[in-house]
Amino acid sequence: MTAVMIGYARTSTTDQKAGLDAQLRDLQAAGCTKIFKEQLSSIANTRPELERALEFVREGDVLVVTKLDRLARSVADLVAITEKLKAKGVELRILALNLDTSTPTGKLMLNLLGSIAEFERELMLERQREGIAKAKAEGKYKGRAPTARSQAAIVLSMKSEGKKVADIQAALGISRASVFRILKELSAPVDAA
């Protein structure tokens, strides 16, 4: 019996159309007869299409991904996924690494690469935290820009002075919808002009 190749493709945002298209092209070229795809962050709590793919695969199948980071968020995540696959008698193939878990070398490489990927991510996050701390110490880090709700008092004050919604919007640099939302939540009379 020939192994059925099942593909999984993921991008972190819906803006990454070219990245998703490239993954789909590579998975099709590898011989995948069914491909599960999604466009959401790997830090999302759920990846419904990955769950569907893991449910779909059967003994003897091969789950194929283009890169390791398209599949797993961490070593723990990678271990959990590979354990599910192993329990079902399914192998994993990662195209960019020419890695196939049907071989002992492939299994060893997968564990090593997962550990290295998690280590690199932790280093990146540590450098990011250090950079933010340095910028804060130098007074260069402003943090997240204030949201419209943080300007609610100003919106109310301007409205009570008789300012129109368009004037409030322009003065504060917030959306028209945000002005209306603030006025509605705080029960101020709204003049749509």
User: Which CATH number do you get for residue 51?
Assistant: 3.40.50.1390
Q: 124 lies in a domain?
A: no
User: Residue 176 sits in a domain of what CATH number?
Assistant: 1.10.10
Residues 6+ apart with CB under 8 A from 1: 60
Look at the block and give the residue holding tokens 């008698």. Answer: 89
- Considering all CA atoms of the chain, what is the largest pairwise distance in Å, rounded to the nearest integer? 78
Q: What is the pLDDT of residue 174?
A: 86
Residues 153 and 67 placed together within one structural domain of the fold: no
**Number of C-beta neighbours around residue 118 at 10 A:** 17
Taking 70 as the pLDDT cut, the residues of the chain under it are: 1, 14-15, 41-45, 144-146, 187-193
Active site residue 12: yes
Q: What is the pLDDT of residue 193?
A: 52
Q: What is the pLDDT of residue 159?
A: 87
Residues 66 and 152 placed together within one structural domain of the fold: no
Residues 6+ apart with CB under 8 A from 51: none
**Number of C-beta neighbours around residue 191 at 10 A:** 11
Three-state secondary-structure class, residue 8 = strand
Among 12, 42, 175, 178, which one carries the catalytic annotation? 12
62-89 burial: b if 16+ Cβ within 10 Å, else e: bbbbbebbbbbbebeebeebbeebeeee
As a whole number of angstroms, the distance between CA 120 and CA 108 comes to 19
Q: 139 lies in a domain?
A: no
Residues 73 and 152 placed together within one structural domain of the fold: no
As a whole number of angstroms, the distance between CA 64 and CA 26 comes to 10
Q: What is the pLDDT of residue 153?
A: 86
Q: CA angle, 155 as apex, 151 and 159 as ends, to 5°?
A: 170
Q: How many domains does the chain have?
A: 2
Residues 162 and 73 placed together within one structural domain of the fold: no
Task: Pull the structure tokens for residue 48.
Answer: 């419904």
Q: What is the pLDDT of residue 33?
A: 95
Q: 64 lies in a domain?
A: yes
What residue numbers bound the domain in which 86 lies? Answer: 5-119
